[in-house]
């Protein structure tokens, strides 16, 4: 023979190796192409999934605008029906004033909790000495702010009823007579 195998490769290389090389080269190219395609598809799926998860997460928690609107509706209900009818509605976890992590809390300017949509057991309790995780007397600050301003936002830390974790929170309050009507959002 002329030093070449039947497949045209040099005779020193066994014909099975030439056959394997002939099959493997296109296979490697196909595998690279498939890896690239799979990565593109997975990346697209992750982006779509993340966008979808973001929209779900965005709807899972209340916004500052929703908190403010909830307080405005609560103030309107107190004015229309009086505190005797409104406060039990605010404290009812199945009522229309509890929405995801948003709920109404009403404080007397003496620090007494008059309604609490997050924890009905707190109704009637004096809370002036309540402290957040950083030691801030947040109820004392809240009623002091309510004495000075018709409405305000306050920052502190509080246990999120949806996950029981202490998280930064912003609460919007409006003064109504001798009370502060409030609802807050957890900051992420």
CA 135 from chain centre, in angstroms, equals 25
Q: Tell me, what's the pLDDT at 90?
A: 98
- Burial class of residue 151 (count of CB atoms within 10 Å of its CB; 0-12, 13-18, 19+): middle
Within a 10 A sphere around the Cβ of 105, how many other Cβ atoms?
A: 27
Q: What is the mean pLDDT of residues 95-120?
A: 96
Q: Are 67 and 99 in contact, with CB atoms under 8 Å apart?
A: no
Q: Give per-residue pLDDT as tens, 91-104.
A: 999 999 999 999 99
**Structural fold of domain 64-186:** Beta-Lactamase (3.30.450)
Question: What does pLDDT average to over the chain?
Answer: 78
pTM over 0.75: no
Per DSSP, the three-state class of 183 is strand
For the chain, the domains span 1-60, 64-186
Asked if pLDDT for residue 125 goes beyond 60, the answer is: yes
19-61 residue pLDDT tens? 344 444 444 554 454 443 433 332 333 222 333 333 334 588 8
């Amino acid at each position: 023979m002329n030093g070449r195998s039947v497949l045209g490769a040099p005779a020193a290389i066994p014909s099975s190796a030439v056959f394997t090389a002939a099959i493997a080269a296109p296979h490697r190219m196909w595998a690279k192409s498939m890896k690239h395609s799979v990565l593109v598809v997975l990346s697209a799926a992750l982006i779509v999934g993340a966008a979808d998860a973001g929209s779900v997460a965005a709807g899972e928690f209340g916004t500052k605008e929703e908190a403010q609107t909830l307080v405005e509706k609560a103030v309107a209900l107190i004015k229309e029906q009086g505190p005797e009818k409104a406060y039990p509605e605010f404290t009812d976890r199945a009522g229309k004033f509890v929405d995801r992590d948003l709920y109404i809390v009403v404080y007397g300017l003496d620090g007494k909790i008059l309604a609490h949509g997050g924890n009905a057991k707190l109704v009637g309790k004096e809370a002036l000495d309540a402290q957040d995780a950083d030691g801030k007397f947040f109820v004392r600050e809240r009623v002091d702010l309510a004495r000075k301003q018709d409405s305000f936002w306050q920052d502190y830390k509080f246990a999120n009823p949806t996950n029981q974790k202490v998280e930064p929170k912003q609460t919007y309050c409006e003064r109504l007579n001798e009370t502060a009507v409030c609802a807050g959002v957890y900051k992420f």
